[in-house]
Structure 1
Amino acid sequence: MAHIKLNNEELPGIRGLLDFRPETAKPLLALAETLLRGPSGLTSGEREIIAASVSYWNQCHFCHTSHAAAAAAHLQTGLNLIDDIKAGLPNTPVSDKLRALLNVAHQVQKGGKNVTDEDIAAAREAGATDQEIHDTVLIAAAFCMFNRYVDGLGTWAPQPNEAYKEMGERMAFVGYGK
C-alpha cells in the first residue's frame, strides 16, 4: 500500500502516482517520451536498456521490470531480457558502445560527479557521439528521479516478469502518456 492515498490503488508503480497528480504526470510523461522514444542515435531498445539498468541498480523493481519489458518488446528478445539486464547482459548481444554508455549511466546512478573523463573517452572510443553521451546521462539522471518517486511513495509492483509483458509492449509501441 502506498504511503499516500492514491485515486486508484490498483494501478502499480508510477502509474498510480501519475493518476494521482495529472498536472505533474504530463511533463514527466513528456520527458519519458522524449528520452526513450524521441530522435536519438541510440535505438529505443538501447535507451530502454539504459533506463532498466539504472532502475535495477537503484533497486526499483517496478521501473526495472517495466522498462526491461519495453526493451524486450523493441528488440523482440522475449522477457528473458529482464533477468539478463540484472546479470549485466551476458546473454544479450549488445555493442561495445552500449556497454560503454551503460558504464557512464552506472557512474551517474552512483552520483553525477562519479563520471570521469576516462568514462567519456571510453564511450567515444566505442563510437558514442556527444548526443548519445548526453542522452545516456539524462536518461540515467531522470530514472534516478523516477525510481525515487516510485519507491519514495511506497507504490506496489507485481513480482512476476510476465505481468509486465503487455505494459512493456504498450510503452514500446504506443508510447508514454498516450
Structure 2
Amino acid sequence: MAHIDLGVDEREFPGITGPMTFRPETAKPLNELAEVLLRGPHTLSPGERELIAAYVSGLNECRFCCASHSAFAAAQLDGGASLVDHVRADPDGAPISAKLRALLRIAEAVQQDGRKVTTDLVDAARAEGATDLEIHDTVLIAAAFCMYNRYVDGLGTLAPDNAERYEQSARRIVAVGYVNSLTAA
C-alpha cells in the first residue's frame, strides 16, 4: 500500500500511474519528458532508449519501472524479452552494438553518481560511434530514471507481479505514447 492516499485503487493504477493520477499537473511534464527522451525522433531507436531506462531502473532496484521499461524495450527490440534480460544481467556479453554497450556504461555511471561519468567513458562511447546527442540523452535518461524510480519507490507504490500487466502497458505505450498513456488506460 502506498505511503499516502493516492485516491485510486492501486491494483488499477500501480507504480507511477497512481502518483500521476494523484497529481496530473506534475504528471504532464513528467510524461512529456519521457515522450521526448524515449519516443521522440532520435538516432537511437525507442527500444534502445527504453533499454537504457530499464537498465538504470534495474540498477536502482525499482521493480515497477524495471519491469515496465523492460517490457517496453522488449516490445520494440528484435531480441524481445530474452535480449532485455541478457542486457540487464550481462551488458558486456549481450548481443548489442558496441556503441549501445558504451552508452550503458555511461548510464551506469550516472546511476551511481553523475560525477562518475568520466572523459574516458565519453571518449569510449565516441570511439564506438556515439554522437554528442546520444551521450547527452543517455545521461538525461539515466538521471531522469533515477528520479522516476525514486518517485515510485519513495511513495511505496504497488509493483504487480503479473508480467501480462507490463506487456499490456507496453502495447499501450507503443501505440499511444507517454503523453496520452493515462487517458488510454
Structure 1 residue 91 displacement after superposition: 7.4
- Residue 38 to residue 87, structure 1, CA distance change in 2 (3 Å): same
**DSSP 3-state at the match of 1:108:** helix
Q: State the alpha-carbon separation in 2 of the partners of residues 173 and 33 from structure 1.
A: 12
Alignment-mate amino acid for residue 176 of structure 1: Y
Choose the corresponding residue for 2:116, options 114, 117, 131.
114
Q: Corresponding residue for 1:97?
A: 99
Structure 1 residue 80 displacement after superposition: 3.2
Structure 1 residue 88 displacement after superposition: 2.4
Choose the corresponding residue for 2:90, options 80, 88, 91.
88
Q: Corresponding residue for 1:5?
A: 5
Choose the corresponding residue for 2:79, options 59, 77, 80.
77
Q: Deviations over 1:54-90 (max 9, x none)?
A: 0000000100110110111111434334533431247
- Residue 103 to residue 91, structure 1, CA distance change in 2 (3 Å): closer
Structure 1 residue 170 displacement after superposition: 1.5
- Residue 66 to residue 136, structure 1, CA distance change in 2 (3 Å): same
Q: State the alpha-carbon separation in 1 of the partners of residues 119 and 84 from structure 2.
A: 30
Q: State the alpha-carbon separation in 2 of the partners of residues 93 and 162 from structure 1.
A: 25
2:50 touches 2:69 (CA, 8 Å); kept in 1?
A: yes
2:91 touches 2:101 (CA, 8 Å); kept in 1?
A: no
Alignment-mate amino acid for residue 7 of structure 2: N
1:58 touches 1:144 (CA, 8 Å); kept in 2?
A: yes
**TM-score after normalising by structure 1:** 0.94
| RMSD, matched Cα | 1.5
Output aligned runs, 1:30-45, within 5 Å. Answer: 30-45=32-47
1:60 touches 1:151 (CA, 8 Å); kept in 2?
A: yes
1:66 touches 1:167 (CA, 8 Å); kept in 2?
A: yes
**TM-score after normalising by structure 2:** 0.91
Output aligned runs, 1:47-66, within 5 Å. Answer: 47-66=49-68
Structure 1 residue 51 displacement after superposition: 0.2
Q: Corresponding residue for 1:144?
A: 146
Q: State the alpha-carbon separation in 2 of the partners of residues 132 and 83 from structure 1.
A: 23
Q: Corresponding residue for 1:46?
A: 48
Q: Corresponding residue for 1:24?
A: 26
Structure 1 residue 173 displacement after superposition: 2.6
Give identity over the alignment, percent. Answer: 58
Q: State the alpha-carbon separation in 2 of the partners of residues 21 and 96 from structure 1.
A: 40
| Range that drifts further, 80-89 or 132-141 | 80-89
**DSSP 3-state at the match of 1:79:** helix
Q: State the alpha-carbon separation in 1 of the partners of residues 164 and 86 from structure 2.
A: 15
